[in-house]
Structure 1
């Protein structure tokens, strides 16, 4: 065992000497890693600060855009729930116009409808105009059915608008439901 112990001690001493030789070589060759200076540390911290500041500015801009978008469409649920009332007013006006005896009733319903619709327009609601013969656009219209086109020029075009479409600001909240010629 003594030979084994001597070998271990000799190996340890040799390893220590080799490590010291490496350190001496690094000092002589100038490869010694220096600690960063105060200016370098300041520059690193300044860089970190600038990156953090830029990230915060981007966050503020993004949240501002999201907030503006939210305010623009905040009334979407309300507007969507009021659209059937607009449809009912339009149907009532259509039936009242067919019955000419009720001029006063027609005038009253017309005034209520105009006031109601003007209020919705002030809040950002606008109609999507859809006419017979317009080209069908899948991004702007919802096709509910196709029927044989009454003429060749109406193939692939809108024949009838069953339900009007509406926008709130620039966002479509209800697509016009249309019938397309086949």
Structure 2
């Protein structure tokens, strides 16, 4: 009698797990469970325990990652709030008498902002006028006809700088590229 209670308990655990995971063919799995020998049932019971432990592990990891992301976001927002407060102080002191203080305040805020971005892993992509156009780091926003053949395929103007985050491009450098005039 005790053995039947254990089997029923085991089957109920398996059924709950199968239903929880929305597994297909649960009827076939249940029939197979009934036919298992006692040693096989123990192995399956252990397997179910391991699977449950793994599910709990995944949930714990997901929770920890969520907390880490929230903390990182909070820290970045606190830094940005500090910059916003600096802007407020700077604009509140804007009078003709304090124009130099205003300009110095803007310069300080600019330095702090770029320092924060650098701390977070942002790096400027170094491109300059005359560089060869490279689609891996540049985005051509316009093509300009040129008279000098040596400027073909080269950057004529930089419209906006590009940036990378931890060596991965997040914003391409926007450029105007030179193209030879065609005789059509």
- TM-score grouping bracket, smaller chain normalisation: 0.3 to 0.5
Q: TM-score, normalised by structure 2?
A: 0.45
TM-score by length of 1: 0.46
Query: Greater relative contact order (Cα 8 A, min sep 6): structure 1 or 2?
Result: 1
Larger Rg: 1
